[in-house]
Structure 1
Amino acid sequence: MRQFSGIVSSLLVTASVLTSTNADYVLKEGPLDTPWTKTVGLNPWPQYPRPQLERSAWKNLNGIWKYQNATSPDDVHKLPFANSLTSEVLVPFCLESALSGIMNEYSTYSWYGTSFDVPSSWHAGDRVLLNFGAVDYQATVFVNGHNVGNHTGGYWSFTFDVTDFLKANGTNELLVFVYDPTDRVIDGKETQIVLGKQSLHFNHIFYTPCSGIWQTVWLESAPAEHITELHLDANMDGRVNVTVYSSYGWDSPVEITIYEPHSDTIKAVGKGTAGTAFQFTVDSPDLWSPDSPTLYNLTATLGSDIVNSYTGFRTVSRGVINGIQRPLINGKFFFWFGTLDQGFWPDGIYTAPTYEAMVSDLQALKEVGYNMVRKHIKVEPALFYKAADELGLLLIQDMPSLRTYVYTNPEPKSCPPRTAVGSPEAQQEFDSQLALLIQQQRNYPSIVTWVIYNEGWGQDSGNPPDGRLTDMVRSLDPTRLVNSVTGWWDHGFGDFHDNHRYPQPQCGTPWYSLENTPYDSSRIGIQGEFGGIGHNVSADHLWKEKEPIDHIANIYSITTDLKAWNHNAHILLGELRQQIEHYACSGAVWTETTDVEGEVNGMLTYDRRINRMDKDQWKRDIQALYDTAERRTMNATARIMSREEAMDDMGLA
């Protein structure tokens, strides 16, 4: 039986109020909370966590686990008993978060423990799979004292088949040893890992780190030969490209069934073999776009394994309209306008307190007319991407960055100069995790662009790898655009010429500034960041730590007058509209969705209790951007460029 789920149905899950039913777990009082903090309950995030590969037989392991701080990497060889660990932690919330019940400042080495029973209703001959949505940064997993596997990388899901390590009857013990150095100096060695905006050292634009299990953990039952990965792309012409990966790797027959939207009626069926790409065509599909985000549910069948998934039919490309390079969705240009979305929460740090809370950010943007979000050097839980698919928000997805520099002084007074990555091992790890980003996120129709580097952070200054990595991304996913470097240190690769400038925009214009370069007409002009104007609020809505509060004025402009903040935004959006009208601006990213710790420049405050936007004004100003872009291209036909033509146009063929 197929299971259909969406934003509305997911919000109907009843949350239990946090109570004292478990005396050992205590919700900590952090520097700030949200309206959802005290509604999380002891069984957080109950939704099935992987909507692109959903099985009916599953068991959520979120909730109260045991926890204990460890002191060295050697502790991984000294297995404790799960029930002997000294504290209780709420999974899946970072150890630094109030919701975890731990709220550590330093969590370099950690033990997690819990126990589980395998449901008796599961088929006796099936395999039991243990899944982790994400653990930051390295996880070593033990079941009943057996090492079942290791994983490196704080943003990626992973699975272990634990069947052979389970007890025939009774309760099983699960232990997870986590190592997360963030940006510490350990044994005199500077740490350089993929970590985005996490830092142990306060800086106005770097934030509280996230250590440990921060996404859902779950068990599921699957046949011995089962689907391990489903790669599916559906374009505007109705052509569906599919690769189904099997646990056996054999050429077993597979079948994809696509259903009419909101229906059990079969729309099309495609057949192929596991491990080999195959294609089939769906007649006259309704296309996915921000104005009409139509999704089609589907099932994938491999032997007795049946998984539920979905797709949207759309094509991302680039083309020339009236002599200007433009991004195209389904062969049409419209202006891309979104916010820089950091994805931090005061109560959960990297993890939103609830699904409803996470989606509320996106709904607030959609309400005033934003059609895009730039997911800023962070990867979200899979349900975030499904929400964007359902709402019709384009996503520009950043690769989480290496640190551009690593502090060796615990109290740095200023930013050191830009340095090289520092080691071939760090570069190799970045490369492999960039590939994981593409492989794990490429099914979501909302994602339209991959970003490799933000402002050169972690981009080797001695031997810039952005050209090589751009080629790698395109080889893994030729269906999307690539923004090789958003900001500066741009070496001419990728589909975009992307400037960052605050607070005024500088998008596709002939003038430029110190960090930015003149517009490169062979690529699409986009404003990767601008705005960032601040509005201070009362202490009730601020991250109540001294250093962030002391640095609130460290921003491009700031006011305590909300009317003035909105007026300033109106002026800046007017400048952007003029650049769309007169120059080659095709998209822009406003900083930012919400405040984060010491930053007070969000559409929403960090606690999500104040929406700063004069909604009527913002709706008018955003619509004016779209109307201006439409007038620029009215009655014009896009010459859609192939990848080869685009490369030739950039002189890279």
Structure 2
Amino acid sequence: MYWGLTYLTLFLTASSARTIGTPQQLAARTTAEYAQKQSPLDTNWTADVGTNPWPEYPRPRLQRDEWQTLNGVWQYQSASSLNDVYSPPFGQDLAQEVLIPSCLESGLSGIQATDAYYSWFRTNFTVPGNWSGQDVVLNFGAVDYEATVFVNGKNASFHRGGYFEFSVDISPYLDTSGSNELLIFVHDPTDLNGYVIPIGKQRLVPSHIFYTPCSGIWQSVWLEPVPANYVTQLDLTADMHGQVNVTVHSVYGNGTEVNITVIDGSKVVGSGSGVSDQPFQFNVSDPKLWSPNSPTLYNVTVTMGDDTFQSYTGFRTVSKGTVDGVVRPLLNGEFMFIFGTLDQGYWPDGLYTPPSREAMVYDLQFLKDLGFNMVRKHIKVEPALWYRACDEMGLLVIQDMPSLRPLENILPDDGQQQEFSRQLDLLVNQLKSYTSIFTWVIYNEGWGQITSYYPEFDLTSRVQQLDPTRLVDATSGWHDHGAGDFSDNHHYANPQCGTPFYSIDSSPYDPKRIGIQGEFGGLGNNVSIEHLWNNQDAINSINQTYEIDTDLDAWNHRSHLLLTELQGQVSLYACSVAVWTQTVDVEGEINGLMTYDRRLKRVDEDQWKKDIKGLYDAASNRTSNSTSSSSSS
């Protein structure tokens, strides 16, 4: 069995961390210098990436003043098998230079690898002299899929899960007076035969709605000094009544005193204290509430012993309730129609890794300017700065769990299902303090969803236990057995949102839950080759698009008709939330509001703004004279 065998192999490796020995200085080899590879398509940001990418502090909800980025040019070489982890190339130059963070398969990486199952990454660093007397933590935003970390010849840590951050206290292995060698072994099988792991839309052989995979260190890497007992995780939410709920997780877990201050500009508006590793609450009087129309955020300072850092929060409450006889999602006790796009977070130059923060935020600002108030992050996890941008702009987030292998009738065995559940916990715990997230999605269209029994009921309960402040869409599309807060319909091209009609591949609307159009639209419009992913297999798959409109006038006309139809369902039936497919084209998909290179906008902006406003007005008119009875999720 893959899961058990791999776990046992790497557990034994990690357990022998102190027995590998000192680095061996072997004969140096010539390392090929870094240079961007030409991707099948680029963006306006590609040429500006350089060799010092992503200089921003990567973790805005737990931000320490002192830190050191390790982003930049590292060394890389492929390995031949999982057993290579037992023979690390200590003290050796590796074959090629690579840009970190990046996907090995991307042009930005300088590698543009295929079948990158086993990889070595290497860099050297020195510890600043003013960090003397403190521990040093090594942080990773995400490594796909399994990472074994060596520092100065010692096995320091192992992590599994391609979408999740992790940290390693590397203090025992450091030379604080000189250079330190960091060596990382990465194993990423993607959908290789025999593996059933969370991969989202990644495929070793891309095909239409499945895309080029991402292997390796694809989010930021950084160091920071910390005291011996430091904060490892901050759980922080604030509701519409001013109650701030806090759990500060520490290394020692021994109930150290914690003090928190909430700041509006330069004014302290609230404070509280408690002990680490136990939840506590305090109140802020008359807070300005966060919403898409007014995304107010407050700065937060947290102190635990000798550890002090900055964070932030927004005051808002997500719930559901009955409004005029219809179950609705409520934000701060009120129903508002929620409309956004399916956002897959792919880039032609960087794949999973955006070329820069500026580029990443461009997509979100484009959606906000059109009038969308939500984005569905589709079976991918973004860098923390993406969620910070949604918090700042006022874009609600539907967050998907990256799915197991789709559409192949390959379902997880017991061990693989347990691993999926473990990583679902990681997802919720990592992101649950971001203000903008209002719904979790567990399964998308049955991908990896076991049907011999209904695991979504237990998984929904688990998510609600980890995060009682959000709603849960247990099954977005297809195999809906009644779990979760939403009755979710997927239908291309036209919507069937909370309606008394549905198609055979969907489920009828369940009036006990919230009516959501989890996906619709998907209107295609082909473009000239300079805006296409220039890969013949991808180009050949364009004709699989749900509908092709031969010019932009037709595309915008059809969009207007579908949005008008959706508006009618908001006015007449129980439609509360809708997700348009999609923000941008991806490889062989040509149904985005923008092309994959972000250079061509298909939308008639005036028309789209009017149609989106029409959806909000329809919901407002429907409920203007109604009252709601709220319940928590």
Name the TM-score class by shorter chain. Answer: over 0.9
Match of 1:157 in 2: 165
Match of 1:456 in 2: 446
Q: Distance in 2 between matches of 1:506 and 1:636?
A: 24
Q: Distance in 2 between matches of 1:106 and 1:466?
A: 32
Match of 1:197 in 2: 201
Match of 2:238 in 1: 234
Match of 2:248 in 1: 244
Q: Distance in 2 between matches of 1:121 and 1:40?
A: 30
Match of 2:141 in 1: 133
Select 1:568's aligned residue among 555, 558, 565: 558
- Structure 1's 397 and 600: CA in aligned 2 closer, same or farther, altered over 3 A? same
- 1:350 aligned onto 2:358: no
Q: Distance in 1 between matches of 2:33 and 2:91?
A: 15
Q: CA deviation at 1:81?
A: 3.2
8 Å CA contact 2:53, 2:72 repeated in 1:
yes
Q: CA deviation at 1:642?
A: 4.1
Select 2:541's aligned residue among 540, 551, 557: 551
Q: CA deviation at 1:560?
A: 3.1
Give the secondary structure class of the aligned counterpart of 2:418.
helix
Q: CA deviation at 1:559?
A: 2.3
Q: CA deviation at 1:247?
A: 1.2
Select 2:182's aligned residue among 162, 174, 178: 174
Q: Distance in 2 between matches of 1:641 and 1:249?
A: 34
- For 2:323, the aligned partner's letter is I
Partner deviation per Cα, 1:437-479 (whole Å, 9 max, x = no partner): 0100000010000000001100112222000100000000000
Q: Distance in 2 between matches of 1:581 and 1:258?
A: 41
Give the secondary structure class of the aligned counterpart of 1:46.
coil
8 Å CA contact 1:194, 1:401 repeated in 2:
yes
- For 2:411, the aligned partner's letter is A
Match of 1:500 in 2: 490
Q: Distance in 1 between matches of 2:499 and 2:279?
A: 43
Match of 2:15 in 1: none
Give the secondary structure class of the aligned counterpart of 1:473.
helix
Partner deviation per Cα, 1:481-507 (whole Å, 9 max, x = no partner): 000000010110100000000000000
- For 2:39, the aligned partner's letter is G
- Structure 1's 23 and 104: CA in aligned 2 closer, same or farther, altered over 3 A? closer
Match of 1:411 in 2: none
- For 1:479, the aligned partner's letter is T
8 Å CA contact 2:32, 2:96 repeated in 1:
no
Match of 2:387 in 1: 385
Q: Distance in 1 between matches of 2:67 and 2:197?
A: 33
Q: Distance in 2 between matches of 1:151 and 1:420?
A: 23
Select 1:361's aligned residue among 350, 354, 363: 363
Select 2:475's aligned residue among 476, 480, 485: 485
Mapping of 1:322-341 within 5 angstroms? 322-341=324-343
Q: Distance in 1 between matches of 2:139 and 2:149?
A: 11
Q: CA deviation at 1:517?
A: 1.6
Q: Distance in 2 between matches of 1:538 and 1:465?
A: 45
Select 2:309's aligned residue among 307, 310, 314: 307
8 Å CA contact 1:509, 1:584 repeated in 2:
yes
Match of 2:114 in 1: 105
Q: Distance in 2 between matches of 1:600 and 1:216?
A: 30
Q: Distance in 2 between matches of 1:223 and 1:642?
A: 39
Partner deviation per Cα, 1:364-409 (whole Å, 9 max, x = no partner): 000010000000000000000000000000000000001135xxxx
- 1:34 aligned onto 2:46: no
- For 2:262, the aligned partner's letter is I
Q: Distance in 2 between matches of 1:103 and 1:484?
A: 36
Q: Distance in 2 between matches of 1:168 and 1:497?
A: 56
Q: CA deviation at 1:106?
A: 1.1
Match of 2:411 in 1: 420
Match of 1:295 in 2: 297
Flag structure 2 segments of 5+ consecutive residues without an equivalent: 1-30
- For 1:40, the aligned partner's letter is V
Q: Distance in 1 between matches of 2:343 and 2:279?
A: 34
8 Å CA contact 1:373, 1:394 repeated in 2:
yes
Give the secondary structure class of the aligned counterpart of 2:451.
coil
Q: Distance in 1 between matches of 2:593 and 2:420?
A: 32
8 Å CA contact 1:43, 1:63 repeated in 2:
yes
Q: Distance in 2 between matches of 1:474 and 1:539?
A: 46
Select 1:397's aligned residue among 395, 399, 404: 399
Give the secondary structure class of the aligned counterpart of 1:551.
helix
Partner deviation per Cα, 1:177-212 (whole Å, 9 max, x = no partner): 000000012xxxx21011100001222110000000
Q: CA deviation at 1:325?
A: 0.4
- For 2:140, the aligned partner's letter is F
- For 2:480, the aligned partner's letter is D
- For 1:134, the aligned partner's letter is A
8 Å CA contact 2:218, 2:353 repeated in 1:
yes
8 Å CA contact 1:420, 1:461 repeated in 2:
no
Partner deviation per Cα, 1:386-435 (whole Å, 9 max, x = no partner): 00000000000000001135xxxxxxxxxx4x3432x1111011000000
Q: Distance in 1 between matches of 2:627 and 2:150?
A: 59
Select 1:279's aligned residue among 267, 273, 281: 281
Q: Where does structure 1 differ by over 2 angstroms across 4 or more consecutive aligned residues?
A: 418-421
Q: Distance in 2 between matches of 1:264 and 1:256?
A: 15
Q: Distance in 2 between matches of 1:404 and 1:319?
A: 34
- 1:89 aligned onto 2:98: yes
Q: Distance in 1 between matches of 2:253 and 2:469?
A: 25
Deviates more, 1:544-553 or 1:311-320: 544-553
Q: CA deviation at 1:79?
A: 1.1
Match of 2:227 in 1: 223
Give the secondary structure class of the aligned counterpart of 2:630.
strand
Mapping of 1:62-81 within 5 angstroms? 62-81=71-90
Mapping of 1:600-639 within 5 angstroms? 600-639=590-629
8 Å CA contact 1:66, 1:83 repeated in 2:
no
Q: Distance in 2 between matches of 1:142 and 1:34?
A: 35
Match of 1:410 in 2: none
Q: Distance in 2 between matches of 1:642 and 1:355?
A: 35
- 1:183 aligned onto 2:191: yes
8 Å CA contact 2:32, 2:97 repeated in 1:
no
Match of 2:11 in 1: none
Q: CA deviation at 1:82?
A: 5.3
Deviates more, 1:461-470 or 1:499-508: 461-470
Q: CA deviation at 1:83?
A: 4.5
Give the secondary structure class of the aligned counterpart of 2:542.
coil
Match of 2:16 in 1: none
8 Å CA contact 1:66, 1:82 repeated in 2:
no
Give the secondary structure class of the aligned counterpart of 2:129.
coil
Partner deviation per Cα, 1:611-651 (whole Å, 9 max, x = no partner): 111110000000000000000101211111245xxxxxxxx
> Equivalent pairs: percent with the same residue?
58
Match of 1:59 in 2: 68
Q: Distance in 1 between matches of 2:126 and 2:56?
A: 20
- 1:593 aligned onto 2:597: no
- Structure 1's 332 and 147: CA in aligned 2 closer, same or farther, altered over 3 A? same
- Structure 1's 179 and 375: CA in aligned 2 closer, same or farther, altered over 3 A? same
Q: Distance in 2 between matches of 1:366 and 1:24?
A: 40
Partner deviation per Cα, 1:313-338 (whole Å, 9 max, x = no partner): 00000010110000000001010000
Give the secondary structure class of the aligned counterpart of 1:85.
coil
Match of 2:262 in 1: 258
